[in-house]
Chains A and B, each alone.
Chain A
Amino acid sequence: MSAITRDEVAHLARLSRLALHEDELDRLAAQLDVIISAVAEVQEVAKGDIPPTSHALPLTNVYRSDEARPGLAPDQALAGAPAVEDGRFRVPQILGEEE
């Protein structure tokens, strides 16, 4: 049994806004299956009292003090925007027509 189905890969691709062709889905599903199976082996070894690691550094409670500092000027902030309107980032249509 494969660790990830082709349908699941297609679903993830859609969530990630990746337009994949049918043949790419076939290829990537197989590759991801290998990766997940490999991770599953690690999980086997790490069972029991080994907690999952999300952070490489043993640090907690790293805070800044609540002080406001100047950020970017608006023209700097908007410099990388593909389009600007009215001092705001202009983005393409977000959702299509209601069906």
Chain B
Amino acid sequence: MKNIEDIHIVPVIPSPPSSEFGAEQTKKGFADGLIELGKLLPNVVVIDTDVAKATRSADFQKIYPERHFNTGVAEQNMLSVAAGMSIEGFIPFATSFGMFIATRGGDQLRNSICYPKANVKVAATHCGISTGGDGASHQINEDIAICRSFPNLTVIVPGDYEEAKQATIAAAYFKGPVYLRYGRDTYPIVPEIHGKFEIGKSRTIREGTDCTIFTTGIMVSEGIKASDMLKEKGISARVVHLPTVKPLDNEVVIKAAQETKFLVTVEEHSIIGGLGEAIAGVTAEHHPTRVYRIGINDVFGQSGQSQELLDLYGLRAINIVEKVLEVTKLQGY
């Protein structure tokens, strides 16, 4: 058994060039990251709740069947089983739909994993409204809020396939509980967020002086698009992508509050308790600045194509542009 503490350098695994273009699932990034980890760390195992095909942990299972464990449809048990395995030196990736982890498994995530700092990686797929047609019972727009509030838990929301893959690998090399949030649908590949994944570090993708657009997860591509659209209208919008929601890259957030006039946050998650409130909390204490939150406005989702749901709930570049223009006009910036 390779001891995790003996390994300090997180490898960056290059992806085939084709992934630089088009669109891909973030959960495929998870699956491909797992397969790399299968080679790198013999103590990485996967605990599944009979949804391996849907979460794509089946891709790992095909290669490493003896390292893949199915608890049946029992998410609470999965989380505690993973905690138990971790103290014997394994690095379990406990994986299911985010909905069934963060809410149903809340006590297990908190008391079995976070409280004892169990070295478990919780891989939540089908998050946000990405599970589309399954409807609101399967969508989860509250998981970042729940997970952010648990002590000892690191919360990572990758922005595209490649970042999801690198984040998965980085999480295994990080000691302690990590919540990884992936989507079901395909989302644009964003080359600006590729390369080494450092937990807790943000990525400034566009410089800007008028306002800052903060994104997490798949909203990064919309944020970039919005900034480019605003540029044509003479507004200089900085774009900062925060794949780690906790711990937050406070330094970069405060700097943006100091250097730009107002902040807009964009997330495929409730505006309650997510990235927006995390940023509002930091800036309120260090450099009070107006923060405008774009996200799911305290409603349940609904059945629909996930791309259409992004339109419906106003999670597109055009919505960001409209917000920035509205604020600019209203506040006389």
A, B co-complexed: no
Interface residues of B (CB under 8 A from A): none
Interface residues of A (CB under 8 A from B): none
